[in-house]
Structure 1
Amino acid sequence: MTGEGKGHLDASPFLHGSGTFVNEMMFPDVKTTLNLFGIHRRKVAGDWSYPPHEHPQYEINYLLEGHQTMRVNGMEYDQRAGDLLLLRPGDVHSSRSGDGQPFEYFCIHFDLDDRLFLSLLGRMEQTLFPAASPIARKIRPALGKMMEPDSAANARSVAGRMRLQSTVFELLAQLWDAVSAETLQLSPQSYGKVELAHEIAGRLQGLANQTFRKGKSGEEPYGIREIAAALGISVSYCNRIFREVYGQSPRAYWSELMLHEACHLLSDPRYTVQTISAILGYRDIAHFSRQFKRWTGAAPSDYRKQHSRLE
């Protein structure tokens, strides 16, 4: 079932009650999606090796004991116990013992849709982080928690999977803190650009949340002129700085926010396409459908058939 024939829901999926607020604390919407793949702890013999390969996800490779030689994009890294390797999507890498003796490592592959986090990782040029480095020290406790004896078995249950994801989110939060500290080593000018781009992205996210809550127009304009004016910079400078840090324009980032919310709502059959169109602020369902097809190559109804959460 797609839910198209169900009753029309209110354009805002949030209820705010009636009467006068005495006090209120509003938290930002949290919609980060985390996917985990191929988590394993492995001890191998000295003659073990893994041929060159690549992944579409990030990989954290943590050496527990021994000596591993990892070849990444043509460069060799000698990894000792406690050292951490951070591999990016598309990195071609292979592995073998560094001294012909057994070694043990822990590996996790992940991807997530938080562009601020991915932008920060993208600015890191380092691949090997020694055991004494701030980044390796910072995330070691979360890695240790994941490697507890019962973790793999418990992860087969729903509660166990939730706890595993919670631990990985904590690991990523620690990684964010550590990488952010590394960013402070940039020149003041470069660091200022990064912070400005993050501020622009945060304000765009805030405008998007207002759009989704109140059904404001999600088509045009997306508020970059107002953001630039509030920050005391020109629109052209705002666009240029954002593109330097994120590799895309603010308009493209705004479209991604709209697409992410559209896909999230379409996966829930309780909302008709007409309702979703109203939530996202489009003037009519036809315009929303055309825009969604430009984004994804599929009509909203076709996307829903493939991704509906409920049958």
Structure 2
Amino acid sequence: MTQFISIPVIESNIYMFGGHQHTVQGGWSFFEQKHQAFELMCVISGHQTTEFKNANSITYGPGDVVIISPGTVHLNRNASATDEMTYICFHFDFDSLRLKSRLIGYLANRVLTSDTLTAQKSEQVAKKIVSLSVSETLSAEAIKLEIQIAVLQFMAYLEESLDNDNGHIESHFTDQEAKTSQEIATIIQKMVEQIGDRTFTFHDVCNEIGISKGYGYRTFKKVYGVTPLHYIEDQKYQKAKMLLGYYNYSIEDVADKLGAADLSVFSKQFKKWAGITPSQYRKQITKKRTVKSSKETGYFE
């Protein structure tokens, strides 16, 4: 008998922006900022100082890397008043809460020195992204796909290395904080799944596990780098996209299943999420492939 092997469902959702390589003069600095994404900063030559608000500054040099966690207020500047510095940076975000929490807990906001494998892998992917960006042989779409592949391979390395190497590193948060945040995320996912039956607030989520709203908010943001409200909105957006992919649901049906007061409210909210209306999004969805068998015909989802 042929063994049945299940292939996992994969929906890649990588967002990358603000990437560039830059050579700056001595005394250069960039204004204080924060992002709802990770920022990878790799120094190619010279030395850079990153100042974290209400925390210590760090200075790092050629081959060293810093991954700045989401929501961290920081300022980057050339550590030298006279010498040039060259760096590569890019901002990136992804869906996996597990990898986010492990990045924040064990790697973020620290200097990864050039003699470590993680810094070397980081520099390799940064340089590869720059090289792909100036390719004269690939099409614009091929460049984007190759960059996505490079970033995914880098994330796969991070996932594996964090499994093997974090035993000797002190995390930025406690095991209890990680456990509580994971419970919050699970409850949010469950409540968003059931949102067509009843709406909910973050206060409801915290009541479910017997913690205060303030503690839940602070802990979730500390562990995952985003606020729980941001995560709730993201889960609603993911559900909306999934439901819009089912053509047996009208857009009114989708609005109802998201707990929206009416179609207008849902359309405005979806446009805030996606930048386009639900009907425009539905038109962009690739046609479903049809699967035929000896017994029935159906959609391959």
Aligned counterpart for 1:87 among listed residues 60, 68, 87: 68
1:49 to 28, 34, 44: 28
Q: How large is the Cα RMSD of the aligned pairs?
A: 4.6
Q: C-alpha separation between the residues in 1 aligned to 2:72 and 2:8?
A: 32
CA contact (8 A) 1:138 1:178 kept: no
Is the alpha carbon distance of 1:131 and 1:219 closer, same or farther for their aligned partners in structure 2, counting shifts above 3 Å?
farther
Q: Secondary structure at the match of 2:66?
A: strand
Preserved CA contact (<8 Å) 2:50 2:57 = yes
Which residue identity does 2:65 align to in structure 1? L
Structure 2 distance, partners of 1:300, 1:138, is 43
1:139 positional shift:
3.0
Secondary structure, in 3 states, of the residue corresponding to 2:277?
Answer: helix
Question: 1:265·1:271 contact (CA, 8 Å) conserved in 2?
Answer: no
CA contact (8 A) 1:67 1:99 kept: no
Distance 1:113 1:119 in 2: 11
CA distance, structure 2, for counterparts of residue 92 and residue 254 of structure 1:
23
- Once residues 264 and 162 of structure 2 are traced to their aligned partners in structure 1, the CA distance between those partners, rounded to angstroms, is 38
2 CA distance for matches of 1:177 and 1:49? Answer: 36
Q: CA 1:180–1:49 in structure 2 vs 1: closer, same or farther (change >3 Å)?
A: farther
Which of 5, 20, 33 lines up with 1:40 in the alignment?
Answer: 20
1:175 pairs, out of 155, 158, 183, with: 158
Query: Runs of 5+ in structure 1 lacking a partner?
Result: 1-20, 221-234, 238-242, 278-284
Map of 1:28 onto structure 2: 8
Q: Deviations over 1:12-65 (max 9, x none)?
A: xxxxxxxxx9543223322341111121111222x3512322132321110111
Residues 69 and 98 of structure 1 are in contact (CA less than 8 Å); yes or no, is this contact kept in structure 2?
Answer: no
Asked if the contact 1:67–1:78 (Cα under 8 Å) also holds between the matched residues in 2, the reply is yes
Q: Which amino acid aligns with 1:116?
A: R
- Structure 2: 5+ residue stretches without partners: 199-207, 211-215, 285-301
Q: 1:37 to 1:261 in 2, by over 3 A?
A: closer
Q: Which residue of 1 aligns with 2:266?
A: 300
- Are residues 1:165 and 2:138 paired? no
Following the alignment from structure 1 to structure 2, what is the Cα–Cα distance between the partners of residues 219 and 252?
Answer: 20
Which is further off, 173-182 or 82-91? 173-182
Q: Give the direction of change, closer, same or farther, for the CA distance of 1:84–1:256 in structure 2 (3 Å limit).
A: same
Alignment of 1:201-220 (within 5 A): none
Distance 1:298 1:176 in 2: 41
Deviates more, 1:268-277 or 1:161-170: 268-277
Q: Could you give the per-residue CA deviations for residues 166-198 of structure 1, whole angstroms, max 9, x where no partner exists?
A: 1111122222333444432359xx669958987
User: Contact 2:65/2:122 (CA < 8 Å) preserved in 1?
Assistant: no
For CA contacts below 8 A with separation 6 or more, give which structure has more relative contact order: 1
Match of 2:73, SS state, is coil
